Amino acid sequence: MAFTIHISIAQQTLKLFSSSDLLRTFSISSALNGPGNQNGSGCTPLGQHRVRAKIGTDLPVNAVFVARRFTGEIYSDTLSHQYPERDWILSRILWLCGEEVGYNRLGSVDSMRRYIYIHGTPDSEPMGIPRSHGCIRMRNNDIIDLFQQVPVGCRVLITV
């Protein structure tokens, strides 16, 4: 089965397709700074990507990641208050790699070197409006569902 993911920044949605059949539509939150491919911009990169790595298999819901490593922590309100400035990356990570040299791959526009992920976020964070630092945020149960379905190498198209 050939899965593909289409992310619309304008609609704040992620659509999962199998061949040409739409399987599921998820609400997401992309970058507060809007679309853009430049390193350091805090923007969500556009264009054709693929899932380069899947991180977090079999970890619990709300597992906390720092630098793509499980910290051993489980997100809670108490933990949130201890670390109010942390950009919470929870449950699962789909690490994206750009496929368009000079646009979202290599040099100062490399999505993978920018650490652009599709990942879980606290349930208190809104979906459907841009709020991230460049990544695609999803509800924890949604990212776990998506993570279980898509393989490494899955194509991801991000459009305005």
> pLDDT in tens for each of the 160 residues of the chain?
699 999 999 999 999 999 999 999 999 999 999 999 999 999 999 999 999 999 999 999 999 999 999 999 999 999 999 999 999 999 999 999 999 999 999 999 999 999 999 999 999 999 999 999 999 999 999 999 999 999 999 999 999 9
pLDDT given at position 153:
98
Residue 13 in contact with residue 27, Cβ under 8 Å? yes
Considering the entire predicted model, what is its pTM?
Answer: 0.97
Domain ranges of the chain: 29-152
Q: What is the pLDDT of residue 12?
A: 98
Question: Could you write out the three-class secondary structure of the chain?
Answer: CCEEEEEECCCCEEEEEECCEEEEEEECECECCCECCCCCCCCECCEEEEEEEEECCCCCCCEEEECCEEEEEECCHHHHHHCCCCCCEEEEEEEEEECCECCCECHHHCCCCCCCEEEECCCCCCCCCCCECCCEEECHHHHHHHHHHCCCCCEEEEEC
Phi and psi dihedrals of 80, rounded to 5?
A: -60, -40
Residue where the block lists tokens 């791959």: 105
Among candidates 48, 70, 78, 47, which has minimal Cα distance to 119?
70
